[in-house]
């Protein structure tokens, strides 16, 4: 057959698949990764985008998960200070609220002290009769707690992991669906189809990693033929984006009478992101859309807090995704564990000798954006166990592409870029630094004027950026550029987006990738 033999073949280009591929490639394994669509086109671009311990999970006694997540906040921030930054969350409180003040105080005390907090400021109490944070809220609140967590551009975190994996030698294949995988002797034989050209390929690997997120059971059933597989519970979460409800960089944490919580977060300069919902989902994850009830729920819940109500007609964009939660039998969707589970099948796990020699498979269930790096390290322990150890953990002190500057050095990076390219408007320089960090200079190259960036598509999106995304970050379509590599779609008109689509369609296919 003449196929290349890889140590590892990873199914799924979400945060977990890309994180595992990057870690493995950096340790010296030969790695291939197939993503059937675009990177982060599944759950990993549909999150609330918090790098957080998960204050709410303390109520469900998820101490292991919360501690690991809290510790990861500053590790990830240092790893990618362009796409990750600290955020303060204001939790308004009034007497007779659904959680007593002492409980919130205890939760936040644990949050501050469970571990890993060096740079993030601790919890404080705000007097809402005077504090500017009270301005957009109803007068009901006399007090608020303010605590720290982090924020991430989720879709960019995924593609930067894929980029770094490729830079370390991994074969990264977007728009490539795994249609079947079978064991032949001690190897995996994997059949893939290029979803753009329809071309089939066969790969061989010593080990297979199934990181297909909400499709993980579907892959087990369809690609491996195990018809009964049911390990994850699909829980839908939706968000709405409205014109900004408040100024400043702080976010709000609102508690709802049904015991659930939502966030209102400053988003893309001009907007407020409000979410999320939690409801069991039974359909195909690719068809998930916000429902009228969810829209209504989010508008009503936010309007309980904001002076100016949030109305369905204020919504400028929505997105929806499905959490692939490990099914621990919890009765309510919001109580199902957010922790991850890694299940290794064969070789040493096999009960009889035929299984004992079988090529190993690692299934990844659950997880959060926040824990992807630790999940990857744990996956690498299992991989080492199964096919032999290579290298050692290295990602904690690493940088994602463009993130090689100090965690607190973002403003200095913006100033550097502005000085090197004085023709950029300040907001444009800031946005390019947010997206590309130190790699913004690769995108801008020898440009000496705005005209050198080529055609202008609207907002601050120019041809140079679109070509950079196609050549370096596997963008193939206008949607990839407008809604995942950037969020320029929020700032552009339908006609402008259409023009970009036509421009990309007219480019030679070989430009991408």
Q: Which parts of 262-291 interact with ligand FAD (CB under 6 A)?
A: 276
Task: Specify the length of the chain in residues.
Answer: 513
Of 9-17, 114-122, 435-443, 490-498, which part binds ligand FAD (CB under 6 A)?
A: 9-17
Residue whose structure tokens are 């809290």: 70
Of 43-51, 200-208, 350-358, 501-509, which part binds ligand FAD (CB under 6 A)?
A: 43-51
Nearer to ligand FAD, 134 or 208 (CB): 208
Count of positions on this chain that bind ligand FAD (CB under 6 A): 39
DSSP state of 437: G
Q: Which parts of 232-251 interact with ligand FAD (CB under 6 A)?
A: 237
Residue 81 touches ligand FAD, criterion: CB under 6 A: no
Rg value, the chain, Cα: 23
Of 7-15, 124-132, 292-300, 415-423, which part binds ligand FAD (CB under 6 A)?
A: 7-15
Q: How far is the CB of 211 from ligand FAD (least distance, A)?
A: 5
Nearer to ligand FAD, 189 or 321 (CB): 321
Nearer to ligand FAD, 49 or 382 (CB): 49
Nearer to ligand FAD, 32 or 369 (CB): 369
Q: How far is the CB of 178 from ligand FAD (least distance, A)?
A: 4
Kindly report the number of other CB atoms within 10 A of residue 395's CB atom.
Answer: 22
Residue 34 touches ligand FAD, criterion: CB under 6 A: yes
Of 42-50, 378-386, 489-497, 500-508, which part binds ligand FAD (CB under 6 A)?
A: 42-50
Q: Which residue is nearest to ligand FAD (CB)?
A: 14
Among 209, 290, 369, 481, binds ligand FAD (CB under 6 A): 369
Residue 374 touches ligand FAD, criterion: CB under 6 A: no
Q: How far is the CB of 237 from ligand FAD (least distance, A)?
A: 2
Residue 14 touches ligand FAD, criterion: CB under 6 A: yes
Residue 323 touches ligand FAD, criterion: CB under 6 A: yes
Q: Which of 205, 179, 217, 177 is nearest to 341 (CA)?
A: 217
Among 26, 136, 174, 367, binds ligand FAD (CB under 6 A): 367
What residues contact residue 5 under an 8 Å CB cut-off, 6+ apart?
30, 187, 204, 205, 206
Kindly report the number of other CB atoms within 10 A of residue 301's CB atom.
Answer: 22
Among 10, 90, 207, 219, binds ligand FAD (CB under 6 A): 219
Of 11-19, 96-104, 411-419, 467-475, which part binds ligand FAD (CB under 6 A)?
A: 11-19
Nearer to ligand FAD, 126 or 364 (CB): 364
H runs (alpha helix) in 168-311: 216-222, 292-303
What residues contact residue 508 under an 8 Å CB cut-off, 6+ apart?
none
Among 6, 7, 8, 13, binds ligand FAD (CB under 6 A): 13
Of 13-21, 97-105, 341-349, 387-395, which part binds ligand FAD (CB under 6 A)?
A: 13-21
Of 20-28, 102-110, 363-371, 388-396, which part binds ligand FAD (CB under 6 A)?
A: 363-371
CA gap 237, 333 in Å, rounded: 10
CA gap 338, 315 in Å, rounded: 29
Nearer to ligand FAD, 25 or 134 (CB): 25
The CB-based long-range contact list for 215-223 (8 Å cut-off, 24+ gap) reads: 215/12, 215/42, 215/285, 216/12, 216/324, 216/363, 216/364, 216/365, 219/11, 219/178, 220/363, 222/179, 222/180, 223/11, 223/178, 223/179, 223/180, 223/181
Q: Which of 293, 278, 276, 274 is nearest to 234 (CA)?
A: 278
Residue 36 touches ligand FAD, criterion: CB under 6 A: yes
Among 43, 148, 161, 272, binds ligand FAD (CB under 6 A): 43
Among 15, 70, 155, 336, binds ligand FAD (CB under 6 A): 15
In the chain, helix, strand, coil percent, each to 5? 40, 25, 35
Query: What φ, ψ does residue 26 adopt, rounded to 5°?
Result: -65, -25
Cα 360 to chain centroid distance, Å, stands at 27
Task: Return left, alpha or beta for 311; rule: phi > 0 is left, psi -120 to 50 is alpha, else beta.
Answer: beta
Q: How far is the CB of 16 from ligand FAD (least distance, A)?
A: 4
Residue-by-residue DSSP string for 148-189 = EEEEE-HHHHHHHHHHHHHHTT-EEETTEEEEEEEEETTEEE
| Straight-line distance from the first to the last Cα atom of the chain, in angstroms, rounded to the nearest whole number | 26
Q: Which of 121, 117, 114 is nearest to 75 (CA)?
A: 117
Q: How far is the CB of 224 from ligand FAD (least distance, A)?
A: 11
Tell me the sheet residues that pair with 261.
255
Residue 174 touches ligand FAD, criterion: CB under 6 A: no
| Bond preceding residue 347 cis, omega within 30 of 0 | yes
Among 212, 387, 478, 500, binds ligand FAD (CB under 6 A): 212
Among 7, 17, 27, 466, binds ligand FAD (CB under 6 A): 17
Where on the chain is the footprint of ligand FAD (CB under 6 A)?
11-17, 34-37, 41-44, 46-50, 52, 177-178, 211-215, 219, 237, 276, 321-324, 367-370
């Amino acid at each position: 057959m003449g196929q290349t033999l890889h140590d590892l073949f990873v199914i799924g280009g979400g945060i977990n698949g890309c994180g595992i591929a990057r870690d493995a490639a950096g340790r010296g394994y030969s790695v291939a990764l197939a993503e059937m669509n675009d990177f982060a086109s599944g759950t990993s671009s549909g999150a609330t985008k918090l790098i957080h311990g998960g204050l709410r999970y303390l109520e469900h006694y998820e101490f292991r998960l919360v501690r690991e997540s809290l510790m990861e906040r500053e590790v990830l921030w240092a790893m990618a200070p362009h796409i990750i930054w600290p955020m303060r969350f204001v939790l308004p409180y009034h007497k007779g609220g659904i959680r007593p003040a002492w409980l919130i105080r205890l939760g936040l005390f644990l949050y501050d002290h469970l571990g890993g907090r060096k740079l993030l400021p601790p919890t404080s109490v705000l007097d809402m009769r005077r504090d500017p944070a009270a301005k957009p809220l109803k007068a009901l609140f006399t007090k608020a707690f303010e605590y720290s967590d982090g924020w991430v551009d989720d879709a960019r975190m995924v593609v930067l992991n894929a980029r770094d994996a490729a830079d370390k030698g991994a074969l990264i294949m977007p728009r490539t669906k795994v249609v079947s995988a079978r064991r032949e002797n001690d190897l995996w034989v994997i059949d893939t189809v290029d979803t753009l050209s329809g071309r089939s390929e066969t790969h061989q690997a010593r080990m297979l990693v199934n990181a297909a997120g909400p499709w993980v059971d579907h892959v087990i059933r369809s690609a491996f033929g195990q018809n009964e597989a049911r390990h994850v519970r699909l829980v839908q979460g939706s968000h709405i984006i409205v014109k900004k409800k408040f100024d400043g960089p702080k976010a709000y944490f609102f508690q709802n009478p049904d015991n659930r919580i939502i966030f209102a977060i400053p988003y893309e300069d001009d907007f407020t992101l409000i979410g999320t919902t939690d409801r069991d989902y039974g359909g195909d994850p690719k068809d998930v859309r916000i429902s009228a009830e969810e829209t209504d729920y989010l508008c009503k819940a936010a309007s309980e807090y904001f002076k100016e109500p949030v109305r369905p007609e204020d919504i400028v964009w929505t997105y929806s995704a499905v959490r692939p939660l490990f099914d621990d039998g919890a009765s309510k969707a919001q109580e199902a564990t957010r922790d991850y589970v890694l299940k290794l099948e064969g070789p040493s796990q096999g009960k009889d000798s035929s299984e004992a020699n079988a090529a190993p498979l690692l299934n990844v269930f659950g997880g959060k954006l926040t824990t992807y790096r630790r999940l990857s390290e744990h996956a690498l322990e299992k991989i080492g166990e199964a096919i032999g150890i290579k290298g050692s953990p290295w990602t904690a002190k690493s940088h994602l592409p463009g993130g090689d500057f100090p965690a607190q050095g973002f403003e200095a990076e913006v100033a550097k870029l502005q000085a090197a390219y004085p023709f950029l408007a300040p907001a444009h320089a800031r946005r390019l630094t947010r997206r590309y960090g130190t790699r913004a200079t690769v995108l801008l190259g020898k440009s000496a004027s705005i005209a050198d960036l080529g055609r202008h598509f609207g907002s601050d999106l120019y041809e140079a950026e679109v070509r950079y995304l196609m050549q370096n970050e596997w963008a193939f379509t206008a949607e990839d550029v407008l809604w995942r590599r950037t969020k320029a779609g929020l700032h552009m008109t339908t006609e402008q987006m259409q023009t970009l689509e036509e421009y990309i369609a007219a480019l030679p296919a070989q430009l991408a990738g």
